[in-house]
Amino acid sequence: MPRAAENLSTTQMNFRLLLGCLLWLGVFVASAYGQHAQSPSVAEQSPKQPPTSTLSATPVSSSPQLAATASPSFSNNTSVQKPEQGIAADLSKIESNVRPAVLWVTAFDQKGNLLRTESGFFISADGRFVTTARAIEGAVNAVAKTGDGGIYNVLGALAVSKQSDLAVLQADVKRVAFVELNKNSGAPPGTNVAVVGSGLAGTDGSVREMPIAAQSSDRLEIAGATVASAAGSPIVNEAGEVVGIVTISGDKTTARSSAAVQSLLSRVAADTQARWPATGNPTPKPTPKPRLVYAPAPAFPPGMSQPGVSGTGRFRLSFDSNGNVINVQVVRSTGNAYFDQAATKTLRQWRSAPSHGWDVTVPVTFQTR
């Protein structure tokens, strides 16, 4: 190759290398300038969108959700709604706490005849209880019965006030459930209270929420009607404390306040002996032995009176003071569910003469001839 051509080729290569270096230098400068030009815009945006904006957005967006769930939870709180709803929400609790202390007192005259049955309630563990004075008028003997099957002889009265229609009596018992008297007698008109009847009264003894219509120092008027068996029933507040006792039931319900009961109790000295006001303290005549007055035999269930089909069982009947069957218990099954049902249905129709209330176990046999 001629020397001039060789020099030209070397010059071209050097030019290309120089051009490539200039090109890379330009790219580097442009890159550095671009980063410097963008930095002011980041600084301007940082106050509006700080780097921690993602973290702060989480509690801000979740706060309304927390407030929304907390509000219904608080509004359903019983203690907040109770003043507006009365004591309806606590009726079952009140009934379970008070009902064991509520009783039926059945009074008899000198001949052992049934006079009347009214409600009452124990106010001490040793058997002291309160009922109406009318409940024991003319009585020389009585028994107190509780819903759990307890039957206690009544020794007599500790104090009686015909003016207030109240009586404090003593039952012969070692220990019983009782209710506390409200010390403040705080039951102003408009206050909702509960009347708790005896469990022996069936549905008539169901607890009832009723408002107080009027109040005086020793008397309460209840807005609403009560059944006849409610006489002598305790009237309690939401805490289960006695604020009164029903003395007149019916369309218009009248009660004596716990203050009236406290006043009568203050007349009972430590050595006061229970006695019957009607005749001093007589020895009561024994109550006549209970006797059945209606006792039909159970019939075969339909379609079951076939040859060779038989069954024998034992059933326990509980009678109230009026002679009505209040419970039938299968002591021993006949071995046939249809026989047991037929026997129970018929035995519920049995009746006895009035008495203290009694139980009897009877055998029942189904057998074809």
CA dist., res. 124 & res. 13, Å (int): 123
Tokens of 206: 């169901």
- The answer as to whether 349 is a domain residue is yes
Number of neighbours of residue 317 by Cβ within 10 angstroms: 21
Is residue 172 a contact partner of residue 153, using CB atoms and an 8 Å limit? yes
**Domain tally for the chain?**
2
Could you report how far apart the first and last alpha carbons of the chain are, in Å?
A: 147
The per-residue pLDDT for 52 is 37
pLDDT in tens, 114-128: 999 999 999 999 999
Of 1-15, 231-245, 269-283, 337-351, where does mean pLDDT reach its minimum?
A: 1-15
Tokens representing 305?
A: 């009176």
Overall average pLDDT of the 156-178 stretch: 94
5 versus 10: which is more confidently predicted?
10
* pLDDT tens profile 18-73: 666 565 555 554 554 444 444 443 333 444 444 333 333 333 333 333 333 333 33
Does some domain include residue 19? no
Q: Is residue 223 predicted with pLDDT exceeding 50?
A: yes
Instruction: Output the pLDDT for position 304.
Output: 78
Asked whether residue 251 is domain-assigned, the answer is yes
For residue 324, the 8-state DSSP code is: B
Residues 211 and 252 in one domain: yes
Q: Last residue of some domain: 219, 245, 263?
A: 263
Cα dist from 36 to 33, 47, 60, 128, 268, whole Å: 5, 19, 35, 98, 103
Q: Which of these ranges, 4-13, 255-264, 323-332, has the smallest mean pLDDT?
A: 4-13
Contact criterion met (CB below 8 Å) for 364 and 307: no
- What are the tens digits of pLDDT across the range 255-292? 999 999 999 999 999 889 999 986 655 445 555 667 88
Mean pLDDT, residues 140-166: 93
Instruction: Categorize the per-residue pLDDT at 13 as very low, low, confident or very high, splitting at 50, 70 and 90.
Output: low
Contact criterion met (CB below 8 Å) for 202 and 214:
no
Q: Taking the alpha carbons of 93, 96, 99, 100 in that order, is the dihedral positive or negative?
A: negative
Q: Are residues 259 and 296 in the same domain?
A: no
Query: Which pLDDT score, from 0 to 100, does residue 280 have?
Result: 53
Q: What confidence score (pLDDT) does residue 102 get?
A: 96
Among 198, 197, 200, 264, residue whose Cα is nearest residue 226: 197
Clarify whether residues 322 and 255 are in a common domain: no
User: Are 305 and 244 part of one and the same domain?
Assistant: no
Distance of alpha carbon 357 from its chain centroid, rounded? 28
Average pLDDT score, the chain? 78
Task: Identify whether residues 296 and 355 lie together within a single domain.
Answer: yes
Same domain? For 296 and 258 the reply is: no
Domain that holds residue 333: 292-367
CATH number, domain of 257, equals: 2.40.10.10
Q: Among 218, 247, 263, where does a domain finish?
A: 263
Region 302-330 average pLDDT: 88
Higher pLDDT, 345 or 44: 345
Calculate mean pLDDT across residues 354-358: 81
pLDDT score, position 290: 79
Could you please report the per-residue DSSP string of 70-95? HHHHHHT-HHHHHHHHTTGGGHHHHH
Which CATH number is 342's domain given?
3.30.2420.10
Q: Per residue in 68-107, pLDDT tens?
A: 333 333 233 333 333 334 566 688 899 899 999 999 999 9
> Does residue 329 sit in helix, strand or coil?
strand
CB atoms within 10 A of CB 368: 11
- Give percent helix, percent strand, percent coil of the chain, each to the nearest 5: 35, 30, 35
pTM of this prediction?
0.56
Looking at the structure, do residues 347 and 297 belong to the same domain, yes or no? yes
Note whether residue 206 is domain-resident: yes
pLDDT recorded at residue 367 = 82
Compute the distance between CA of residue 91 and CA of residue 82 in angstroms, rounded to an integer. 12
**Residue 97 included in any domain:** no
Q: Of the residues 243, 263, 283, which one is the last residue of a structural domain?
A: 263
Q: Which helix (H) or strand (E) holds 352?
A: strand 351-352
Residue 237 within a domain:
yes
- Residue 294's SS3 state is strand
For residue 301, give every residue at least 6 positions away whose Cβ sits within 8 Å of its Cβ, in sequence order, or none.
338, 339, 341, 342
The 10 Å Cβ neighbour count of residue 64 is 9
* Sign, Cα dihedral of 280, 283, 285, 286: positive
